[in-house]
Structure 1
């Protein structure tokens, strides 16, 4: 079971770091509305640009903490629960703007993975 949780941590953290560090200025099919980058996506949600940077800071930081929790287990719950809350917000934003449900799939999968990490 320990290796399964480590794998979940790695998948969640690397995926979120990819979104926020490598895909930040790129269009993807998962972006809210017709946004072409992360800043536009937050505008589609009716949120200011500074909120994008704040959420990004927390997602990157918590993702790094999730990786660190492989060696420092006391970081596990704060990282997993913090990310779960942020991912819940992502899903709610997609729902708020009436995006097709498929755009919420990555956030929903990572939310489920974070909850498994936090619970087990």
Structure 2
């Protein structure tokens, strides 16, 4: 399901083309709905892709809330990547940037609690 969604992300990015950069709208919306799950997507300016899978029975989450969660995730991810002690390509749980990794982990954990 996630692999199929990544194909949809690539299609949306190529369809938007330069408009994606001009609009600064990084949220791609609902990518792949199924009976059991809904898959949402987000792409950063540097083409890093975030995919979120939500249970279809969760009707409490609206599009604006999903968009807000992606922005929070993106901000936390940016904080980790901007850390001078982080080596690009390392896992985010790198021992050199423990504080920022904990912050990233707590952001992801709080998002998962919110979704559940």
TM-score (norm 1): 0.38
Higher relative contact order (CA 8 A, sep 6+): 1
**Rg comparison, structure with higher value:** 2
Greater helix content: 1
Greater strand content: 2
